[in-house]
Chain A
């Protein structure tokens, strides 16, 4: 089969599958949310609400699309298109299945293989995703939209740094940023070579920063309903609004695949899908393993949504600039020392935990000092001491 047909087949499958999968992810999100809140969730359309996404899709397609006269029409239409385009374009270099000889020739689980800047391509494309938000907010000519767009761009811009910096350690260790190669190195070594063992801190930071990039809760300050109605997409309706949603869910899919590939060994699973395992249909198992890992990350994201409350905006920026950037830089320096002097890689695991703990202590102290500088600050005391002190004080007066 010629190369171009394989490419077209892959692209066709991806472009067709992503909107469908996103629709069902929305159902999953609603069902999981309902489960966590002890509700039932959508259950009217089809068995267990399984046809709900179809109904939603048709509704969104046939709804009235309001283009208010006060908007800048060109940019207003461009914004959702851009956010979907960038989100889906980033998926081009993600290997969403095994990329090796076990796969039948007419299948290829990556759209553009052998792009050796891999991850940087993804970062470049997602950095363009800000345009969708900024333009949507500006073009809508609505105060809430403008505020949401401003918040979103400050946030996305801030989290790009820790996102990029957290993978630098991986690049140092593996010597590549090509996703296929990164996956290959881990699958060859088995579970003990998964990057999460050597870069646990980077894994956490990568996942967190990606959540912030995707504007998912608890980082969804740009579109929080209680403050900003819908944020930058307040003035959008029908399919254009759906396009923004499609962009967000595509982003979620990309993130979960990326995290599984970068840190959790891709399709590798002990005993079931090893590099040496060789039984008929092994590629299908590998594919399912990777899908399973990605799926559990998506579930994690949805459950995080109802677990961690939304940040305040200054806390959000502080998390990026005062915690994640220094930590990722320290992590990078640690890996650098380890590689230079040839230490055992397992020290990185210990080091990551140490860094995490140390920075926790330091930033708590810094926070305390900063609070103490504010007027009207009352120093918190240890409970027993406070009680004793209170008694002493009272006794002294009477």
Chain B
């Protein structure tokens, strides 16, 4: 911990500056009170800049690098704008933009289906549902109870401590943020290639199960030829059909992670039944 603090002063400074900026920009408890925005924006920008400088290494190709930074910084910035927006509609929109920027990052990682899926689920479905709620409940500004219950100081501090922890882990694990993980192209790929597959599949399942990687179907034979990608036992990536494309994803998802898919389906069933059962009935005057 202390080592990390000493080794990465830039990250720490960036995080602190950023947190102060966000705290400054948060809408206050009283609807009427408005702080000047400039200091908050300056702090946020400086913190973001320092944080980004401290983690991540330049890539080989200029275009990739530019794209990565554009998407990454705009995702973070949209996140900040989302939590500091006064109007819930704008907050939802910034959320949508942050999601789109994340999709750009997925595209850079050669995962077009994941990008499209994120757009469909988050931007297309979740946020539209948010907008429904906003139309239903509170159309102009946050409601009174929302402003009273806001714990912006605690929330900001805990969020940035969490972010710091993530940054620390990443820096200690020597995972290079900013270097696109190349799709596993050959069986005997090197260690750098390793994270590609679990990441992609794990994210696909992120909506559902927390099942460990590896399906219920054990590998029929265990030749132990050191699979290129951990947890990728039944399906193998081959040069022509990258894991990122639709077919490769299906092959991996429905052979190695079959059980997880099934669990996700069950979880979704439970979720929908729960939502329907919990929702107040129309006869009670709601909905």
The CA-CA distance from A125 to B118 in the complex, in Å, is 11
B residues 101-136 near A (Cβ < 8 Å) are 112-113, 116-117, 119-120, 123-125, 128, 131-132, 134-135
The reply to whether A124 and B132 form a contact with Cβ atoms under 8 Å apart is: no
Contacts of A175 in B (CB 8 A): 247
Contacts of B131 in A (CB 8 A): 134, 138, 153
A residues 146-179 near B (Cβ < 8 Å) are 146, 149-150, 153, 157, 160, 175-177
User: Residues on A close to B: CB < 8 A?
Assistant: 72, 75, 115-117, 120-121, 123-125, 127-128, 130-131, 134-135, 138, 146, 149-150, 153, 157, 160, 175-177
The reply to whether B128 and A150 form a contact with Cβ atoms under 8 Å apart is: no
Q: Assuming A116-B245, A153-B131, A157-B128, is B89 touching A124 (CB within 8 A)?
A: no
Which residue of B96, B124, B246, B247 contacts A124 across the interface (Cβ within 8 Å)? Answer: B124
Which residue of A72, A117, A150, A160 contacts B113 across the interface (Cβ within 8 Å)? Answer: A117
The CA-CA distance from A175 to B31 in the complex, in Å, is 55
The CA-CA distance from A374 to B88 in the complex, in Å, is 40
Q: Assuming A124-B120, A153-B131, is B125 touching A116 (CB within 8 A)?
A: no
Q: Assuming A123-B120, A127-B125, A157-B128, is B112 touching A146 (CB within 8 A)?
A: no
The CA-CA distance from A363 to B246 in the complex, in Å, is 36
Q: How far is the CB of A5 from chain B (nearest CB, A)?
A: 18
The CA-CA distance from A204 to B213 in the complex, in Å, is 40
The reply to whether B89 and A117 form a contact with Cβ atoms under 8 Å apart is: no
CB nearest to A177 among chain B residues: B246
The reply to whether A146 and B89 form a contact with Cβ atoms under 8 Å apart is: no
The reply to whether B112 and A115 form a contact with Cβ atoms under 8 Å apart is: yes
Q: Assuming A127-B123, A157-B125, is B96 touching A121 (CB within 8 A)?
A: no
CB nearest to B118 among chain A residues: A124
The reply to whether A121 and B116 form a contact with Cβ atoms under 8 Å apart is: yes
Contacts of B246 in A (CB 8 A): 116-117, 120, 176-177
The CA-CA distance from A121 to B116 in the complex, in Å, is 6
* A-contact bits for B79-90, CB 8 A (1 contact / 0 none): 000000000010
The reply to whether A128 and B123 form a contact with Cβ atoms under 8 Å apart is: yes
Which residue of A117, A128, A138, A160 contacts B112 across the interface (Cβ within 8 Å)? Answer: A117
Q: How far is the CB of A166 from chain B (nearest CB, A)?
A: 16
Q: How far is the CB of B181 from chain A (nearest CB, A)?
A: 19
CB nearest to B245 among chain A residues: A116
CB nearest to B136 among chain A residues: A150
Interface of chain B, helix or strand or loop or mixed? helix
The reply to whether A128 and B135 form a contact with Cβ atoms under 8 Å apart is: no
Contacts of B123 in A (CB 8 A): 127-128
The CA-CA distance from A176 to B247 in the complex, in Å, is 8
Contacts of B134 in A (CB 8 A): 138
Contacts of B245 in A (CB 8 A): 116-117
The reply to whether A138 and B89 form a contact with Cβ atoms under 8 Å apart is: yes
Which residue of B89, B124, B247 contacts A75 across the interface (Cβ within 8 Å)? Answer: B89
Q: How far is the CB of A114 from chain B (nearest CB, A)?
A: 10
Which residue of B89, B112, B128, B247 contacts A130 across the interface (Cβ within 8 Å)? Answer: B128
Q: Which residue of B120, B124, B135, B245 has the most chain A CB atoms within 10 A of its CB atom?
A: B124
Q: Assuming A131-B96, A138-B89, is B116 touching A120 (CB within 8 A)?
A: yes
* Beyond A124-B124, A125-B119, 16 extra complex contacts between A and B, CB < 8 Å: A72-B89, A115-B112, A117-B113, A120-B120, A127-B120, A127-B124, A131-B96, A134-B135, A138-B134, A138-B135, A146-B135, A149-B135, A153-B131, A157-B128, A176-B247, A177-B246
The CA-CA distance from A160 to B120 in the complex, in Å, is 10
Q: How far is the CB of A361 from chain B (nearest CB, A)?
A: 28
The CA-CA distance from A173 to B119 in the complex, in Å, is 26
Q: How far is the CB of A144 from chain B (nearest CB, A)?
A: 14
The CA-CA distance from A116 to B110 in the complex, in Å, is 12
The reply to whether B113 and A120 form a contact with Cβ atoms under 8 Å apart is: yes
Q: How far is the CB of B89 from chain A (nearest CB, A)?
A: 6
Contacts of B96 in A (CB 8 A): 131
The CA-CA distance from A179 to B135 in the complex, in Å, is 37
Which residue of A117, A153, A160 contacts B116 across the interface (Cβ within 8 Å)? Answer: A117
| A-B pairs with beta carbons under 8 Å apart, 8 shown | A115-B112, A124-B120, A127-B119, A127-B124, A134-B128, A138-B134, A146-B135, A176-B246
Q: How far is the CB of A53 from chain B (nearest CB, A)?
A: 33
* A-contact bits for B212-245, CB 8 A (1 contact / 0 none): 0000000000000000000000000000000001
CB nearest to B127 among chain A residues: A131
Q: Assuming A138-B89, A138-B135, is B116 touching A128 (CB within 8 A)?
A: no
CB nearest to B123 among chain A residues: A128
* A-contact bits for B131-147, CB 8 A (1 contact / 0 none): 11011000100000000
Q: How far is the CB of A179 from chain B (nearest CB, A)?
A: 13
Contacts of A116 in B (CB 8 A): 112, 245-247
CB nearest to B128 among chain A residues: A130
The reply to whether A128 and B113 form a contact with Cβ atoms under 8 Å apart is: no
Contacts of B139 in A (CB 8 A): 138
The CA-CA distance from A252 to B123 in the complex, in Å, is 23
CB nearest to B129 among chain A residues: A157
* A-contact bits for B241-267, CB 8 A (1 contact / 0 none): 000011100000000000000000000
- Which 10 residue pairs spanning A and B have beta carbons closest together? A127-B124, A124-B119, A124-B116, A120-B116, A124-B120, A116-B245, A117-B112, A134-B131, A117-B113, A127-B120
The CA-CA distance from A160 to B128 in the complex, in Å, is 13
Contacts of A160 in B (CB 8 A): 124
